Amino acid sequence: MGRTNVKFIGQVRLAPVVSYVVSGIVLVILPLVVPIYFESILTRILIFAIFALSLNLIWGYTGLISLGHAASFGVASYTIGILTVHYGIESFWLLAPAGILMATLVATVFGFIALRVSGVYFLLVTLALGQLVYAIATKWTSMTGGSNGLPGIPLPILGLPWFTWNATYFYYFVLVVFVICFFLLYRIVNSPFGHALEGIRDSEPRMRSLGYQAWLHKYIAFIVAGLFAGVAGILFAPFLGLIAPVYCSVTTSTLVMVMVLIGGKRVFFGPVIGTALIIILENFSSGFVPERWPLILGGAIVVSVMFLRGGISVYLVKFWEKVRYRYGGA
C-alpha cells in the first residue's frame, strides 16, 4: 500500500543517514572529551532512550496510552537484581535473556488482559496492572527488599577473563545496545507491520475492513514494546547498582511518557531528544535547586502539553527542511 499514510517528515533519503552518522560519531567521541560525571548522565540518557523508544512504538505509532509500561522495565531490572543478589548468578549471558524474557512475559500477559478494552479503560487497566507490579515489589520484602529496594547489583560479568569494567566501557556497551535497539525499532516502524500500526492508530475500523487483524497487530506491538523496555531494564539495574519499586510504578511510566511527548512522538528519533532534554534538565536542576526538581519537571510537562504539540523534534525537522530548501536545492 505504498507510503500513503506516513506523516514522518524526516524521511528524506540522505538527510537522516548523514544526521545519524554525525550523531553516532558524536556519541562515540563524547565520553573521551567530557568529565566522568557526564559519562554517567550520557549512559542514563541512552538507557532511558531505549525505554522511551519502546514506549513510542505503542503510544506514538499505535495510539495506545499505557500507564503501566514501567512494569516491563521494572520486572527486567528486578529479575537481574534477584538472580544476582539471591541466587548468585552473575553471568551477563544468563541474566540478560532472563530479564528480557521476564519483561516480554509481563507484556504478553498484561497486553492480553489490557487489550480487551480500549480508550480510557485501557489506560486504567494498564495503570492498575502496573501498580500491581509496584505493590508486589513493595510488599514481597524477602525477594525484592521492599520499599528500600534491592542494592548490590554489580555490572554484568561478560565472562572475558582479561576484561574489567569502568564507566567508559559500560557507556560504550550501552551505546552498542542502544544502536542495535534503535536500528531494530527503526526497521519495525518502517516495515509494513509498522505502517499497519499507524493505520490502526488513525482509524482502526478502516484497517479492519481492509483485512488487517488489528487486535493481533496491537498485541504484537505491545509485546515488542515490552521486550525493548526489558532491554532498557536489564541495563538500568547494573547501571544504578540497585533497583527500587518506584521504577515499576506509574511515576516512572509517566516520566517516560513525558520524555516521549517533549521529544515528539511523530518523529522516530523524537523520544531520544526528549529523554536527553529531561535527564539533562534533571541534572542541571539537581545541581542548583535540587528541592525544586519536581516543580521544574511539572512545569516542563505543562508547557510541552500546552504549547509544544508534537514535540521538539518536529521543530528540528522543520528547521532542517528550511535549511535544505535554502541551501540544498531539491
Partner 1 sequence: MEVVGMQLLIGVSYGMLLFVLAAGLTLIMGVMKILNLAHGSLYVFGAYAGVVLTHLSGPWSNFWLATLAGGLAGGLIGLMLERGFLSHLYKELDEQVLLTFGFIYIFENVARWIWGPWLKIVRPPPFLSGSIDVGRLSFPTYRFAIIAIGLMIALGLWFLVQRTRVGSIIRAGMDDKEMTQGLGLNYRLIGSAIFFFGAFLAGVAGFLGAALSGVTPFMGIDIMLLAVIVIVIGGMGSILGALLGAMLLGIINSFGKAFFPDFVLFTAYLAMVAILLFRPTGLLGRKEI
Residues touching partner 1, count (CB under 8 A): 39
Nearer to partner 1, 145 or 156 (CB): 145
Sequence-ordered list of residues with C-beta below 8 angstroms from that of 69, at least 6 positions apart, any chain: 54, 55, 58, 126, 130, 225, 226, 229, 253, 256, 257
Q: Please tell me the distance from the alpha carbon of residue 102 to that of residue 211, in angstroms, as a whole number.
A: 32
Q: Which of 53, 106, 258, 278 is the binder for partner 1 (CB under 8 A)?
A: 258
Q: Name the minimum Å distance from CB 236 to partner 1.
A: 21
Cell numbers given for 205: 475500523
Q: Name the minimum Å distance from CB 126 to partner 1.
A: 10
Interface region with partner 1, contact rule CB under 8 A, candidates 80-88, 169-177, 249-257, 316-324 = 249-257
Site residues for partner 1, 30-69, by CB under 8 A, read: 59, 65, 67
Nearer to partner 1, 23 or 251 (CB): 251
Q: Please tell me the distance from the alpha carbon of residue 156 to that of residue 80, in angstroms, as a whole number.
A: 9
Q: Does residue 104 bind partner 1 (CB under 8 A)?
A: no
Q: Which of 6, 135, 176, 210 is the binder for partner 1 (CB under 8 A)?
A: 135
Q: Which of 120, 142, 205, 290 is the binder for partner 1 (CB under 8 A)?
A: 120
Q: Which of 98, 132, 167, 242 is the binder for partner 1 (CB under 8 A)?
A: 132
**What are residue 190's phi and psi, to 5 degrees?**
-100, 10
Q: Does residue 261 bind partner 1 (CB under 8 A)?
A: yes
Q: Name the minimum Å distance from CB 302 to partner 1.
A: 5
Interface region with partner 1, contact rule CB under 8 A, candidates 94-102, 160-168, 226-234, 252-260 = 252-260
